[in-house]
Amino acid sequence: MVSRQKLPDLIAALSVVALGVAVVVIGRGYPVGTLSRMGSGYFPVILGGLLALVGVALIWEAIRAGESALQRIPLRPVLMIGLGVLSFGALVERAGLVPATVALVLLSSLAEPPLRPVSTLVIAAVMSALGVALFIHALALPLNAFGG
């Protein structure tokens, strides 16, 4: 019998296994190919299988652990980082890569106090410059730095 303290760990581990199995099942719908000629389903099947194995390891660890490793979910970081990612997705095509990156960094910086405005702006500027250099110039992704 599993103790009540271990139940959150087991639920999280089972969720990881379920996600891995779901990725494998969905990935099997695409051509897998071979190691030398990978199909579009090869990578998802491998990653899904690895994710399921990690989930099994987490189940093993949850059963062996003395008490629950999960603690109270830090709501502020989860919300602010999630909001940052959502704003990036909403802004990247409409406003461009630079405003989307700045919004992502600014919102994510609110996840953990204290707020350091100067370092946050420096990080936003550096991340924007790296994003433009990598994604627009080096990889030639169809993104605009500013405007859609």
The pLDDT assigned to 28 comes to 87
- Residue 137's pLDDT is 92
Which pLDDT score is estimated for 147?
85
Burial 53-80 (b: 16+ CB within 10 A, else e): eebeebbeebeeeeebeeeeeeeeeeeb
Residue ranges of the chain with per-residue pLDDT less than 70: 1-5, 66-71, 148
What is the three-class DSSP state of 13?
Answer: helix
Confidence (pLDDT) at 148: 65
pLDDT of 2 reads: 62
Chain centre distance of CA 66: 29
pLDDT of residue 39: 85
Residue-level pLDDT at 66: 67
* The predicted structure's pLDDT at residue 112: 87
Give the model's pLDDT for residue 71: 63
Distance CA 74, CA 112 (A): 10
What is the model's pLDDT at position 69?
52
**How much is the pLDDT for 67?**
60
